[in-house]
Amino acid sequence: MSDQPAASPQGILSRHDERYQVTMYRRVGVEGAHALESYRAAGGYEAARKALTTMTPAQVIDEVKAAGLRGRGGAGFPTGVKWSFMPPPDGGPRYLVCNADESEPGSFKDRYFLEDDPHQLIEGMIIAAYAMQVTFGFIYIRGEYYEGYQRTWEAVKEARAAGLLGQDILGTGFSFDITVHRGAGAYICGEETALMNSLEGLRANPRLKPPFPAAAGMYGRPTTINNVETLTSVVHIVSKGAAWFAAMGSEDSKGTKVYQVSGPVKRPGVYEMPMGATFRELIYDFAGGPTVEAKAFIPGGSSTPMFPWEDRFLDMSMDFGTLAKNGSMLGTGGVIVIPRDKCIVDALYNLVRFYAHESCGKCTPCREGVGHWLPRMYQKLVAGLGRPEDVDLLENVVGNIRGTAFCPLADACVMPVQASLKWFRDEYEYLAANGRPKYQKNDWWQA
Ligand SMILES: Cc1cc2nc3c(=O)[nH]c(=O)nc-3n(C[C@H](O)[C@H](O)[C@H](O)COP(=O)(O)O)c2cc1C
C-alpha cells in the first residue's frame, strides 16, 4: 500500500493499494486532475475515440454486457441489458441522464468523480450515448455539491471547445451534447422517475412504472438513467476490454467498485477495490479499523439492513449476490460502522427522521407511516416514555409499511428498522421497560 494516502481537498482519504487495480479512482485527490489537459495527458478520451471510430453501437453494448457491469446506483441492474431496452432510433430525441444526486447517508463516492475527474464521467457518457444513439445528456447533481457542479460544468465547456461534445464529435459524424443541472437537495430526486420530473421542472414525485424510461422517459421520449460510477466504469471496459473487467470481482459482480467507509474508523474515506473483497479488508486494511469497540455495520448506505459485528459478516464478500443472500443489499457500497456503546434506538431515530423529512408525501404508507408514525414512535421511546408493548407495535407498523409504498423510499426506511429489531431487540426492550437507554445517546451520528 502506498505510504501516503492521497487526500482530496476535503480531507477524505482515497487509499491506493498496488495489490488492487485502481482504475476509476486513480486520479481522485490528484492536483489539477479535473482539467482537460491533465485528463488527456493521462490518455483521456482515447476510449471514446476507440468506440466511435472502431466499434458499432451494438458492439459497444455487447462489450458492456460481456463485461458483466451492474449499475452502481444501488439496484445493481445489468447495464448492457438496460441499454439494449432502448428502442431503435426513430429520428426524434433520445436522452441519457447521469444520476449524480447522491443523497443517501453513508454514500459519498460520486462527489469526488465530479470534483476531481469530471472528464472521465463525460467520456463515459459519450460512449454510452453512442452505444444507444442518444442525442442529448443531462448530469443531475445533488444541490449541495456546488464544487462538483462548477467543476463538471467547466469540464463540459472544455470538452465542447475541444470538439469532444456537440456536433460531429472527433470528426466521426456522431453528435451529442450535455447540460449540467443542480438538484434542489432532496433524497427523492435520486429515484430515477422523480429525477426526470425534477429535470422537466415538475415536483419531484416518482412516476408510475411502466412505462419504463426506455419506452417513455424525459418528455415522453426514450431515456436511460445511469449512476456516475456506472458510466465511468464504461470508459475502462472499452479501453481495456470486457475480459479484463470480467476477470475481476466475484461470480455475479464484476469489476472494481468504489466503496466508502464512515463512522468511528481510523481512516474514513473512499476506496476502490475489486468487487468481492471482504468487509474486513475494507474496514481494517483500508480504513484502519474501528477506533472504538464496534457492534454493527451498515453495508451499503443507510437504507441497507445492518449486520452485527461478527466474523461471519465481516468476512462476507462485498458483492450483490452475497449481500442479497444474507438479507441485505450492496446498495452504494457505503459502509457505516456503529460503536458498541451507543444506543441503537437513538441511532435509528436519527435515520428515521431523515427519511421522514425526505418522504415526498405522494403515497399514504410513506406519508403517514414514514413521515409521521415512525418518528413519533421513536421520539416517544427515546424520550423514555415508551411502554413494553411499543416494541411489538413498532414491528407491526414497519411490517405494514414494507412493500406497500409507491416507490422504494419507504422500504429504504423500514428495512434498517427491521434489521435493528432483529439484531438488537434487547436494546429496544430495555429502553421501553426502563425509560432509559442501555447505552448512551449518539453524539457521533447526527443528521
Ligand atoms: C429514494 C431513492 C434514491 C435514489 N438515489 C440515487 C442516487 O442518488 N444516485 C443513483 O445513481 N441512484 C439512485 N437511486 C437509484 C435510481 O433510481 C436508479 O436505479 C439508478 O440511478 C440507475 O443507475 P444504475 O443502473 O447505473 O445503477 C435512488 C433510488 C431511490 C428509490
- pLDDT at position 20: 60
Contacts for 188 with CB less than 8 Å, ≥ 6 apart? 194, 204, 205, 206, 358, 359, 360, 407, 409
CA distances from 48 to 127, 199, 419 (A): 6, 26, 44
- Among 310, 343, 371, 357, CA closest to 429: 343
The pLDDT tens digits of the residues spanning 84-124 come to: 999 999 999 999 999 999 999 999 999 999 999 999 999 99
C-alpha 1 – ligand 1 centre gap (Å): 32
- pLDDT at position 30: 87
Residue 74 in contact with ligand 1 by CB distance below 6 A = yes
**Which domains are delineated in the chain?**
22-246 (3.40.50.11540), 256-339 (3.10.20.600), 344-434 (1.20.1440.230)
Asked if residues 331 and 258 have their Cβ atoms less than 8 Å apart, the reply is no
Q: Is the pLDDT of residue 2 over 80?
A: no
First-to-last CA distance in the chain?
33
C-alpha cell at 225: 438513467
CA atoms of 66 and 51, how far apart (whole Å)? 15
C-alpha 436 – ligand 1 centre gap (Å): 38
Query: Looking at ligand 1, which residue's alpha carbon is closest to its atom 24?
Result: 71
The pLDDT tens digits of the residues spanning 321-371 come to: 999 999 999 999 999 999 999 999 999 999 999 999 999 999 999 999 999
- Among 204, 115, 142, CA closest to 332: 142
Asked if residues 110 and 149 have their Cβ atoms less than 8 Å apart, the reply is no
Segment 277-296 mean pLDDT: 94
Residue 227 in contact with ligand 1 by CB distance below 6 A = yes
CA atoms of 180 and 354, how far apart (whole Å)? 27
Q: Is the pTM of this model over 0.85?
A: yes
CA atoms of 314 and 176, how far apart (whole Å)? 44
CA atoms within 13 A on the CB side of 209: 15
11-27 exposure pattern, b = at least 16 Cβ within 10 A, e = fewer? ebbbbbbeebbbbbbbb
Angle of CA points 406, 412, 416, to nearest 5°: 145
CA atoms within 13 A on the CB side of 441: 11
- pLDDT at position 21: 61
Angle of CA points 411, 398, 335, to nearest 5°: 50
Return the residue matching grid coordinates 471514446. 48
Residue 206 in contact with ligand 1 by CB distance below 6 A = no
Q: Is the pLDDT of residue 259 over 80?
A: yes
Measured from the Cβ of residue 210, the count of other Cβ atoms closer than 10 Å reads: 9
Residue 192 in contact with ligand 1 by CB distance below 6 A = yes
The angle, 0 to 180 degrees and rounded to 10, between the axes of the packed helices 146-161 and 118-132 is 60
